[in-house]
Amino acid sequence: MLKACLNGGRGRDEHPAVPLTPTELAADAARCAAAGVAAVHIHPRDDTGAESLDAEPVAAAVTAIRAARPGLPVGVSTGAWIEKDPADRVAAVHAWTVLPDFASVNAHEEGAEIVAEALHERGVEVEAGLWTPAAVEAYRGWRVPALRLLIECMTQDRERALADAAAMLDLVPSGVQVLLHAEGAAVWPVLAEAVRRGLATRIGLEDTVELPDGSPAPDNAALVRAARDLGAH
């Protein structure tokens, strides 16, 4: 399974094609779906352009994508950098008026399990973000089921990223879908490793602004096509 991560915390100063508004996210999601992704992950923005978990930005972005591409699963982030206090993240989830299909929760963040519980209570599938072996161990203690585990290699060093991936994958419990990915310079080697292992993966401007040959990526759809050329599907 290939997922497109459309924007993350990246701004137009980093890439001119980063989609920010609901209309832009919807158009980009449709293009990426046409290029072959099975789901999209977004970071909704408020009127100032800041990442937000508030009901209105989430509803606007999710609704626009569903109108543009009915049936395409849509996920959002609940990262602690968006709302530092876990109680505020839980309150935001409970206030959502339009529910995404899934949401990511980073296991190493304070209050991760209670945020996951809030999502589960609302019927939103949980993706557990696991950045380190310690985070994998923390996730194993959760009482909340996960749709999939996001094994996220955060280092920019390619060899280290592959070693980190192997170490975390050795700890993953059986019976749960795993999505393996990285950021920056390690994106393409780790994506190739995910393909080699038969794992789900993701690509998009959240994770990289470069194609496999190091040239600038025009947009998210170009990244998706490059990932599919490498065997991700």
Q: How confident is the model over 30-40, as a mean pLDDT?
A: 98
Residue 200's pLDDT band (cuts 50, 70, 90): very high
Specify the 3-state DSSP secondary structure of 19.
coil
Nearest to 168 by CA among 105, 107, 232: 107
Q: What is the pLDDT of residue 52?
A: 98
Q: Are 171 and 133 in contact (CB under 8 A)?
A: yes
Percent of the chain residues past pLDDT 90, beyond the cut: 97
pLDDT single digits (tens) 146-165: 999 999 999 999 999 999 99
Q: Are 151 and 137 in contact (CB under 8 A)?
A: no
Tally of CB atoms within 10 A around 141? 8
Q: How confident is the model over 86-94, as a mean pLDDT?
A: 98
Expressed as residue numbers, the domain containing 191 is 2-229
Residue 116's pLDDT band (cuts 50, 70, 90): very high
Q: How far is CA 146 from the centre of its chain?
A: 14
Q: What is the pLDDT of residue 233?
A: 79
Q: How confident is the model over 26-41, as a mean pLDDT?
A: 98
Which H or E run includes 125?
A: strand 125-130
**Is the pLDDT reported for residue 194 higher than 90?**
yes
Q: At what angle do helices 133-140 and 158-169 cross, to 10 degrees?
A: 20
Report the CATH number that the domain containing residue 15 is assigned in CATH. 3.20.20.70
- Strands of the sheet containing 125-130, edge to edge, are 177-182, 148-153, 125-130, 102-106, 74-77, 39-42, 2-5, 201-203
Q: What is the pLDDT of residue 232?
A: 86
Q: What is the pLDDT of residue 71?
A: 98
Residue 174's pLDDT band (cuts 50, 70, 90): confident
* Number of structural domains in the chain: 1
Q: Are 126 and 102 in contact (CB under 8 A)?
A: yes
Query: For the chain, what is the mean pLDDT?
Result: 97
Specify the 3-state DSSP secondary structure of 225.
helix
Q: What is the pLDDT of residue 26?
A: 98
Q: What angle do CA 23, 105, 224 make, to 5 degrees?
A: 45
- Integer Cα distance of 199 and 176 in angstroms: 11
**Is the pLDDT reported for residue 117 higher than 90?**
yes
What is the reported pTM?
A: 0.96
**Is the pLDDT reported for residue 222 higher than 90?**
yes
Q: How confident is the model over 81-101, as a mean pLDDT?
A: 98
> Which of 13-26 are b and which e, b meaning 16 or more Cβ less than 10 Å from the residue's Cβ?
eebebbbbbbebbb
Q: How confident is the model over 188-214, as a mean pLDDT?
A: 97
Whole-angstrom Cα Rg for the chain: 16
